[in-house]
Amino acid sequence: MNGAKITLMMLALMALFCYVGYLVGGQGGMYIAFIIAVVMNFGSYWFSHKVILKMYRAREITETDHPRLFRVVRRVAAQANIPMPKIYIVPSKTPNAFATGRNVEHAAVAATEGILEILNEDELEGVIGHEIAHITHKDMLIGAIAATFAGAIGILASIARWGAIFGGYSRSNDRGGGIGLLIAAIVAPLAAMIIQFAISRQREYKADEEGARLTGKHLALASALEKLHKAPNRLNLTRSTSTAHLMIANPLSSKGLLSLFSTHPPVEKRIERLNKLHQESIYGGHAAYY
């Protein structure tokens, strides 16, 4: 069911993208915009993971560099029946972790120095299980596509706004007029961001559930999330919103209406779900959150 929700939201992003392209340049504009999106998605698929790892100055490690992390990743990868991903350490005291890579065969798991200092091995295994779940579900690709569409919609909307201001009234009557064009150009980027972040929140819930099921560390993952949430320097890893959706813990603060633009569900709800999943695993129940 979560997969169906994500598919519907991705289709909504694509439809919104095509609509803004149509507003900007009619049918021809829609086709051109779609071609641009394909090119951008190609670039995201092949190169985004390299850019992200370089952005965080992540260093690839071997087993001798950090035996505990290497041991945990190898154990969880074996449980998931996937090739051993490359392992990176980010030189930051902010406790966080993320997965990246274009597919299972070219995946990487990165952990900060801070997260390795505050988590015990069970908690670390819960976190790695969450990241391995992202890898097995190809969430990195979904996230890259969603971010690319949202970014492209923002660019097109900016063009549409200027078109509406400078002469758009006369040229766009068949597409709703200049006022309609201007309103759509303002609303579309906000709608795209809300859809993109909703996709991210659904993926986080699913990764929590699948990672905990894979490792059996429901309570350990809940404990890890609580520690990460309460860490005093948890918001210092990055000032950019472009990679926030990759992290296991939300590096950005968002409350109230701003939660619509949050890449992560509230940590309290994540912990509550994990506790319920633990109880259901003990008593043989079936967890389903839709």
Tell the residue number behind the tokens 């289709």, with chain if given: 11
CA 154, distance to chain mean position in Å, is 18
Distance CA 188, CA 153 (A): 7
Whether the Cβ atoms of residue 15 and residue 206 lie closer than 8 Å to each other: no
Between 154 and 119, where is the model more confident? 119
Tell me what pLDDT residue 131 has.
96
Give CA separation, 286 vs 202, 218, 223, 289, in Å. Answer: 19, 14, 22, 10
Tokens of 285: 């129940």
Least-confidence region, from 128-137, 164-173, 188-197, 278-287:
164-173
Tell me what pLDDT residue 45 has.
67
Tell me what pLDDT residue 288 has.
47
Helices (H) and strands (E) in the chain, counts: 9, 4
Q: Which helix (H) or strand (E) holds 278?
A: helix 267-283
Determine what percent of the chain is predicted with pLDDT higher than 90. Answer: 38
Distance CA 206, CA 26 (A): 39
Tell me what pLDDT residue 255 has.
56
Q: What is the mean pLDDT of residues 102-131?
A: 95
From the list 252, 136, 158, the residue with the least C-alpha distance to 203 is 136
For the chain, the average pLDDT equals 80
What residues act catalytically? 131
Is the pTM for the entire model greater than 0.85? no
Tell the residue number behind the tokens 């609509």, with chain if given: 19
Whether the Cβ atoms of residue 277 and residue 209 lie closer than 8 Å to each other: yes
Label residue 251 by pLDDT band (50, 70, 90): confident
Q: How much of the chain is helix, strand and coil, in % rounded to 5? A: 70, 5, 25
Burial zone of 78 (CB within 10 Å; 0-12 exposed, 13-18 middle, 19+ buried)? exposed
Between 202 and 188, where is the model more confident? 202
Q: What is the mean pLDDT of residues 14-19?
A: 73
Label residue 241 by pLDDT band (50, 70, 90): low
* Amino acid at position 283, single letter: Y
